[in-house]
């Protein structure tokens, strides 16, 4: 018994050994510096297009013109809110235009929303309120993504605005809701994954649609589109499916 007692280190010596080993392990592995240190939540962007408007139904170009939702558009926004109400959003950003703000309100997120001017729709200038056929009579072969809009925004301006917004979004963490518009939303998606704005024609958005942008969970520096243009009663199901696929 005496031999065992002599071989065992004293409490003081044992404490010093543990402390020294702990410091060594911490210096070699900084992630162990604090068990209470929180790992930032991965970024998930929930892109929401506003509900239906009269001009959306008729096909008129709606940029900076501040028009309200239709009765059906308000119904769409409420239905959308039902599908996202259980998502814990770290931040909610909204276009300053009333159709986006009303959608945000009816979805139940207006109390925590911040206005983000860069989420506004492309300003169509002289082409505001016109149908495509009318614009083509004025400017044959017109393509907004290439030609832009007189007295409105040009492609290089939209590119600068979108990339500026993305640079800020990449510094956020957690679930972030973005209430925006059809044309700008497609451009945001294209630029998120590194495509030119001309590729945004492949990313159409329906009214009150939900899309999700983020990063590949296996390659966390690779931006991806997890979900695109989901509308209606199956939105919740597709959200769950997107989460399952991301978890692999």
Is 121 part of the annotated catalytic residue set? yes
- The Cα–Cα gap between 207 and 56 comes to 8
| 3-state DSSP assignment of residue 240 | helix
Catalytic residue among 44, 50, 83, 181: 50
Residue pair 181/121 in contact (Cβ under 8 Å)? The answer is yes
Closest among 65, 58, 141 to 100, alpha carbons compared: 65
- The Cα–Cα gap between 240 and 218 comes to 19
Is 50 part of the annotated catalytic residue set? yes
- The Cα–Cα gap between 82 and 86 comes to 8
Query: How does 97-108 read in b/e, with b if 16+ C-beta sit within 10 Å?
Result: bebbbbbbbbbe
Catalytic residue among 121, 153, 181, 230: 121
Beta-carbon count within 10 A of 181 CB: 24
- The Cα–Cα gap between 179 and 201 comes to 19
Q: Tell me which residues are annotated as active site.
A: 50, 121
């Amino acid at each position: 018994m005496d031999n065992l007692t002599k071989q065992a280190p004293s409490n003081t010596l044992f404490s010093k050994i543990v402390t020294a080993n702990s410091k060594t392990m911490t210096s070699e592995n900084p992630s162990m510096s604090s068990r209470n240190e929180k790992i930032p939540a991965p970024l998930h962007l929930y892109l929401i297009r506003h509900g239906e408007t009269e001009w959306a139904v008729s096909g008129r170009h709606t940029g900076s013109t501040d028009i309200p939702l239709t009765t059906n558009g308000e119904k769409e926004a409420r239905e959308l809110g039902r599908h996202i109400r259980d998502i814990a959003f770290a931040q909610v950003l909204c276009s300053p235009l009333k159709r986006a703000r009303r959608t945000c309100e009816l979805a139940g997120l207006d109390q925590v929303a911040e206005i983000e001017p860069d989420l506004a729709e492309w300003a169509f200038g002289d082409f505001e309120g016109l149908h495509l056929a009318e614009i083509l009579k004025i400017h044959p072969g017109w393509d907004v993504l290439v030609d832009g809009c007189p007295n409105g925004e040009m492609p290089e301006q939209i590119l600068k605005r979108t990339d500026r917004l993305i640079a800020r979004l990449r510094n956020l963490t957690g679930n972030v809701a973005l209430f925006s518009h059809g044309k700008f939303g497609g451009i945001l998606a294209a630029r998120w994954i590194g495509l030119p704005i001309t590729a945004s024609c492949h990313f159409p958005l329906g009214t009150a649609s939900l899309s999700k942008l983020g990063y590949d969970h296996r390659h966390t520096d690779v931006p991806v589109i997890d979900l695109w243009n989901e509308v209606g009663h199956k939105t919740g199901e597709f959200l769950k499916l997107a989460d399952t696929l991301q978890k692999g």
